[in-house]
């Protein structure tokens, strides 16, 4: 099988026109439903699920036994955060977003061709060809698809709106893999900014899994699957910041069977994990597990491994990832100059399924982490002991102050990545203090 050959300009223009038409229909559906709450009912959709603040509607498709669906809901995030979290123009970024959204259902993905990228006027602008492989259900074979994707920003009724639409295409140069069924789908995501700062989203789509999945079974699970995936929208930006940051070196070797003090709550714990971001120990209650893609994709002929690993983060770092920062996050070890590379499931697909280059700081060149200049609008903490939180912050501040007090005046020979990490810690502690002071002042009023 040869590597994916770029599509000619005429084919790209055809696919662009198709995605633009899907985007127009999806934004019109979202706009009409916002104006008239009974719009979907008038179009033949029936409410099939209401759960966790999401509503799912389905209707029969005239030329398929698999139903069309619309999912409505709200995100506790700004529109800029949604754009930051979902924008993916490289293979590594694409895999990261797919892993966060679909978790262990994600098997592999790649950016095959890029036609348009973001601009200063529209930082969410993108058009190109992508590949995705998913496990729709454990009982059935994996599915994959090659699709055109179009995303951008528009204004509807004075409301700033993001859209991201996809539709499967025929790709003779990228045929289905062995033991994988090629599925087809058409989907549009629309995110509209509300006066409250929250975001209302609409998912409009139709998916035909092909193969032997019974329609009654698939139709029943489709809305549930997409509603669960949509629950990640609120935290997609902060999750990407954590996952895409290089891991911190371990502070010291620890016996996995030993009892260790939790860095967040200070309790002694036997079931602990090291935070991937800061390297400190955290107990089970103070740990957040985030799925992320590993370096090598899963072989389609083997069930012994999976391209998703469970990365552990302490709640302090998870909460701090929402704070504004003008400093690139870098924990690069001076002893490790290697970069994780990707290999495809078959040698003939190495070119198409190869990760993009990283920048000097260890981030993908188009990653939101390569230019952290977006100031977030709000701070959300976890539900915990405020006094203990203050103690952790004060200890971190004292540690950073002590480190800076004894820092040599001559930094020649000092690893630059260490200095960058130290500077980031100073700013992070300052921002946490500022947020805690604001919370205390509001509570005292």
Q: What's the pLDDT tens digit per position in 27-64?
A: 999 999 999 999 999 999 999 988 878 899 999 999 89
Answer whether residue 266 shows pLDDT above 60. yes
CA gap 304, 313 in Å, rounded: 26
Q: Are residues 87 and 103 in the same domain?
A: yes
CA gap 169, 204 in Å, rounded: 18
Q: Are residues 222 and 152 in the same domain?
A: yes
Q: Are residues 271 and 232 in the same domain?
A: no
Torsion angle of C-alpha atoms 27, 126, 360, 342, degrees rounded to 10: 100
Nearest to 316 by CA among 291, 286, 292, 289: 286
Answer whether residue 185 shows pLDDT above 90. yes
Cβ–Cβ < 8 Å for 248, 279: yes
Q: What is the pLDDT of residue 228?
A: 78
Answer whether residue 144 shows pLDDT above 90. yes
Q: List, in order, residues 6 or more apart from 312 with CB less than 8 Å away.
A: 273, 274, 275, 276, 282, 287, 288, 289, 290
Q: Are residues 306 and 257 in the same domain?
A: yes
- The answer to whether residue 393 sits within a structural domain is no
Q: Are residues 118 and 225 in the same domain?
A: yes
Cβ–Cβ < 8 Å for 313, 277: yes
CA gap 382, 389 in Å, rounded: 10
The CA–CA distances, whole Å, from 7 to 66, 110, 261 equal: 30, 15, 56
Q: Where would I find the H helices in 43-139? A: 79-86, 91-102
- Number of folded domains that form the chain: 2
Domain end point (choices 244, 265, 292):
244
CA gap 137, 354 in Å, rounded: 26
Domain end point (choices 286, 306, 323):
323
Answer whether residue 386 shows pLDDT above 60. no
Q: List, in order, residues 6 or more apart from 187 with CB less than 8 Å away.
A: 165, 166, 167, 203, 204, 205, 206, 207
The CA–CA distances, whole Å, from 388 to 228, 267, 314, 395 equal: 33, 11, 14, 11
Q: Are residues 174 and 93 in the same domain?
A: yes
Q: Are residues 240 and 251 in the same domain?
A: no
Domain of 100, in residue numbers: 9-244
| CATH number of the domain within which 276 lies | 3.30.40
Q: Is the overall model pTM greater than 0.75, yes or no?
A: no
CA gap 75, 92 in Å, rounded: 25
Q: Which residue has the higher pLDDT, 407 or 244?
A: 244
CA gap 383, 433 in Å, rounded: 17
Q: List, in order, residues 6 or more apart from 175 with CB less than 8 Å away.
A: 1, 182
- The answer to whether residue 352 sits within a structural domain is no
Q: Are residues 232 and 275 in the same domain?
A: no
Q: Are residues 116 and 264 in the same domain?
A: no
Answer whether residue 273 shows pLDDT above 90. no
Counting residues of the chain whose pLDDT is more than 90, the rounded percentage is 35
Q: What is the pLDDT of residue 331?
A: 36
Mean pLDDT throughout 274-288? 86
Answer whether residue 373 shows pLDDT above 50. no
Q: Are residues 173 and 273 in the same domain?
A: no
Domain end point (choices 217, 244, 271):
244
């Amino acid at each position: 099988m040869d590597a994916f050959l770029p599509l000619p300009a005429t084919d790209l223009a055809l696919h662009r026109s198709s995605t633009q038409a899907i985007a127009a229909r999806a934004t019109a559906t979202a706009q009409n439903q916002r104006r008239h709450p009974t719009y979907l009912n008038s179009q033949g959709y029936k409410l099939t699920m209401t759960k966790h603040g999401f509503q799912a509607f389905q209707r029969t498709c005239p030329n398929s036994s698999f139903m069309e669906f619309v999912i409505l809901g709200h995100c506790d995030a700004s529109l800029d955060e949604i754009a930051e979290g979902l924008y993916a123009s490289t293979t590594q970024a694409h895999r990261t977003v797919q892993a966060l959204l679909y978790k262990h259902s994600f098997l592999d993905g790649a950016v095959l061709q890029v036609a348009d990228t973001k601009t200063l006027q529209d930082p969410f602008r993108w058009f190109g060809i992508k590949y995705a492989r998913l496990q729709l259900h454990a009982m059935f074979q994996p599915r994959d698809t090659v699709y055109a994707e179009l995303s951008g920003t528009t204004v509807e009724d004075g409301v700033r709106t993001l859209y991201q639409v996809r539709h499967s295409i025929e790709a003779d140069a990228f045929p289905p893999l062995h033991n994988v069924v090629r599925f087809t789908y058409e989907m549009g995501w629309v995110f509209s900014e509300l006066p409250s700062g929250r975001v209302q989203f609409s998912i409009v789509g139709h998916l035909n899994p092909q193969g032997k999945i019974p329609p009654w079974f698939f139709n029943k699970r489709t809305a549930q699957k997409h509603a669960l995936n949509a629950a990640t929208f609120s935290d997609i930006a902060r999750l990407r910041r954590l996952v895409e940051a290089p891991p911190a070196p371990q502070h010291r070797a620890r016996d996995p069977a030993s009892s260790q003090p939790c860095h967040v709550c200070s309790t002694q714990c036997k079931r602990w994990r090291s935070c991937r971001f800061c390297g400190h120990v955290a107990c089970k209650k103070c740990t957040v597990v985030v799925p992320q893609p590993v370096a090598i994709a899963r072989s389609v002929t083997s069930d012994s491994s999976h391209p998703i690993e469970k990365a552990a983060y302490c709640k302090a770092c998870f909460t701090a990832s929402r704070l504004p920062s003008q400093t690139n996050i870098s924990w690069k070890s001076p002893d490790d100059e290697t970069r994780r590379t990707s290999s495809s499931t078959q040698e003939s697909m190495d070119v198409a399924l190869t990760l993009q280059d990283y920048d000097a700081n260890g981030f993908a060149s188009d990653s939101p982490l390569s230019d952290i200049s977006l100031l977030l609008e709000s701070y959300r903490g976890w539900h915990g002991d405020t006094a203990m939180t203050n103690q952790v912050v004060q200890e971190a501040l004292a540690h950073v102050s002590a480190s800076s007090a004894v820092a040599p005046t001559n930094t020649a020979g000092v690893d630059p990545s260490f200095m960058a990490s130290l500077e980031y810690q100073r700013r992070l502690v300052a921002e946490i203090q500022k947020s805690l002071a604001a919370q205390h002042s509001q509570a005292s009023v």
